[in-house]
Amino acid sequence: MGNEMAGNAAILVSGTMQQRKAHAVLAALMMVCALAGLTMSWTALGRQFDTSAYDYLFRLETPAAWQPESIILALDEETLTKYGGLTGMRAALADGLEKIRAVSPAAIAVDLILPDASPADDQLEAGFAQAHNLVLSCDLLPNGTWEDPIERFRKHAVAVGEVHAELDKFDAVSRALPLERAAAHDRRWALALETFVAVNGGAQIVESPQDLSVGGTRIPSTDADGRLMRIRYTPPVMNGIPRVSIAELDRHPALASRFRGKVVFAGVTAQTVSDRWMTPYSNSVAMPGIEFHANAYETIARKMFLVDAPLTAVVAVCFMVAGAAGLAFLFGAGWPSNLAAAFVFAISQMIPALAFARGTVWPWMPGTLTAVLGIAAAAAWRHLIVRRELAFAENEKTRYQRSMQFAIHELRTPLTAIQGSSELISRYGTMPEAKRKQMADLINAESKRLARMIETFLSVEKLSAGQMEMKQERFSLAEVVRRCMERAKPLADAKRIAIAGETLPEGDVTGDRELMEYAVYNLLTNAIKYSPGGSQVSVFGDSGKNEVRLSVQDQGIGMDKKEVSRIFEKFYRTKRAEQSGEAGTGIGLSIVEQIVAQHGGTIHVESEPGKGSRFTLVLKQAL
């Protein structure tokens, strides 16, 4: 009976319910993926991946070269050798300052802690006294106190900045610098920041939880993480901050002109000194500490800040990525879905890169993990759904085949009787008249039954396919019910079941009387089939304003809610019905429903397992 008529609401309802459930499962899965992606990226391992991604983007998105404001006055190997090693550093520095004094540098930041007296101090103090905007260094000692320069130097400095290194705890690479550091209640600003303040005429540092402001420069650095500021190191094309060593100045005094108006960072660059750090750019060659401070200064002076993306935005994007992954597989599988998934993944990769190009550090892990997990989970979800649908279809097919076999068998029964009887007649020419008549009657009755069966199946099929105009005649429903009760009586008697016509419906119906008879007869025979011997089947009729109602009630095996929602599906039979030993195809009710729908009516079922069922037809009353 291949048709999908609108009437089959039960299947539709159960279909959308299942679909809704499946969609809810997908939505929940995607939420879990987003949360898992976020959580996993906050683990130590996740952070290391993020750091690697940061370094990668750092090298990928290099800023254009610029003219640095700073220059390094270097105490390199040659200088140290010339001045007799580390002990000669102060004398060397004093000489260097002397050589560049004439070109008036904008400021001089010295990355040497000068905590004690030494023989060359007179010369160095004289140098410091003449230096404009001198900034000296201090460092935090392991015992938690500040190591400051001695007072004779200190008094010539406009500020003392701290030079404690902040290395990444996982790989000891220097990526950021804390702009403030406190020991007990003694807080110091970083050397680079103090130098920037000095260059800006000693402007005040204004603090807010989110940033520091110096003059017109806002430095994003939150109070929560010790005012950590990411350093934008000079890109490789610039070959680092310009550097001139004191020994070189000695050889070529003209080099002093390079210091004109510049911010000078004076410190040790010699490889022998351990004050060297790795940066995202360095490949095995570490950067001297003094260059690190100069880079921090350049970052501030050029406002090249790299700011972390707000957490809420990262979380929101993760959920969006998960949602998109789910959408990719919501409507299907195959190439379009795979392409959509690839697109989602590509987006998750592009966001950190695009953000970085705009100075925002967007963590790579949360989006990537969410995309990978989300796509995998959504694809698996789709796979399971497809498998379930396939299994369902297979199931339908076997049920259909089984029922077809049964239906064919049903058609064969009258055929066999006809064949047998006709053979007997032709073989035994001298058959008693009474016997011959009995056989002829049997043949007649069986062929009529066969014709009726075929007729009914075919007309319902045609009717539902819209190929046949349903007869439109006016008939009495009570009449139809009466005929059906008569026809069903032998069946009921065989099981000692009483059919009680409690009340009969009053009023006429317009439509096809034969089809209606088929429907009512089916309800009656079902009631008898699925009831125990000795029970009662009752028929109630009732007519309302514009409708006629007819109920068939039994005391039989009944059904639960789930079963009721499926009995109008073609070939569906309940377990209880199958176990009852009653033959059936599971087609009858689907036909009944179609007939009722064609008559503009509805069918309702109330049932309880073990207690019985009540099928009610509600039809339009003919005016």
51 counts as binding ligand ADP under rule CB under 6 A: no
Q: Where are the alpha helices (DSSP H) in 495-544?
A: 513-529
Look at residues 548, 533, 540 and name the one whose alpha carbon lies nearest to residue 606. Answer: 540
From the list 134-142, 255-263, 268-276, 551-559, the region that binds ligand ADP by CB under 6 A is: 551-559
Using the rule CB under 6 A, which residue among 589, 595, 603, 619 binds ligand ADP?
589
| Secondary element (H or E) of residue 49 | helix 44-60
Residue showing the smallest CB distance to ligand ADP in the complex: 584
- The distance of closest approach from Cβ of residue 607 to ligand ADP in the complex, given in angstroms and rounded to an integer, is 7
| DSSP secondary structure letter of residue 607 | E
Task: Strand 498-501: give its sheet, edge to edge.
Answer: 498-501, 536-543, 547-553, 612-620, 602-608
From the list 107-115, 363-371, 487-495, 582-590, the region that binds ligand ADP by CB under 6 A is: 582-590
Residues contacting residue 409 through CB under 8 Å, at least 6 positions apart: none
Dihedral of CA atoms 287, 289, 293, 298 in degrees, nearest 10, equals -20
527 counts as binding ligand ADP under rule CB under 6 A: yes
- The distance of closest approach from Cβ of residue 601 to ligand ADP in the complex, given in angstroms and rounded to an integer, is 17
Using the rule CB under 6 A, which residue among 559, 595, 596, 619 binds ligand ADP?
559
Using the rule CB under 6 A, which residue among 573, 594, 598, 621 binds ligand ADP?
573
- The distance of closest approach from Cβ of residue 427 to ligand ADP in the complex, given in angstroms and rounded to an integer, is 37
Using the rule CB under 6 A, which residue among 227, 299, 530, 547 binds ligand ADP?
530
- The distance of closest approach from Cβ of residue 10 to ligand ADP in the complex, given in angstroms and rounded to an integer, is 11
556 counts as binding ligand ADP under rule CB under 6 A: yes
* Dist CA 511 CA 475 (whole Å): 8
Q: How many residues bind ligand ADP (CB under 6 A)?
A: 21
557 counts as binding ligand ADP under rule CB under 6 A: yes
Q: 477-494 and 513-529 are packed helices; what angle lies between their axes, rounded to 10 degrees?
A: 30
Q: Of 344 and 527, which CB lies nearer to ligand ADP in the complex structure? A: 527
From the list 4-12, 47-55, 347-355, 585-593, the region that binds ligand ADP by CB under 6 A is: 585-593
Q: At 584, is the secondary structure helix, strand, or coil?
A: coil
* Dist CA 287 CA 277 (whole Å): 5
HSE-CB for 341 with a 13 A CA cutoff:
23
* Dist CA 293 CA 228 (whole Å): 14
From the list 168-176, 358-366, 416-424, 583-591, the region that binds ligand ADP by CB under 6 A is: 583-591
CA distances from 230 to 162, 220, 348 (A): 17, 10, 23
From the list 413-421, 434-442, 477-485, 556-564, the region that binds ligand ADP by CB under 6 A is: 556-564
In the block, residue with structure tokens 């379009």: 336
| Footprint of ligand ADP on 507-526 (CB under 6 A) | 522, 526
Q: Which two tokens stand for residue 623?
A: 């005016």
CB atoms within 10 A of CB 458: 11
Q: Of 41 and 613, which CB lies nearer to ligand ADP in the complex structure? A: 613
- The distance of closest approach from Cβ of residue 42 to ligand ADP in the complex, given in angstroms and rounded to an integer, is 55
Interface residues with ligand ADP (CB under 6 A)? 522, 526-527, 530, 554, 556-559, 567, 573-574, 577, 584-590, 613
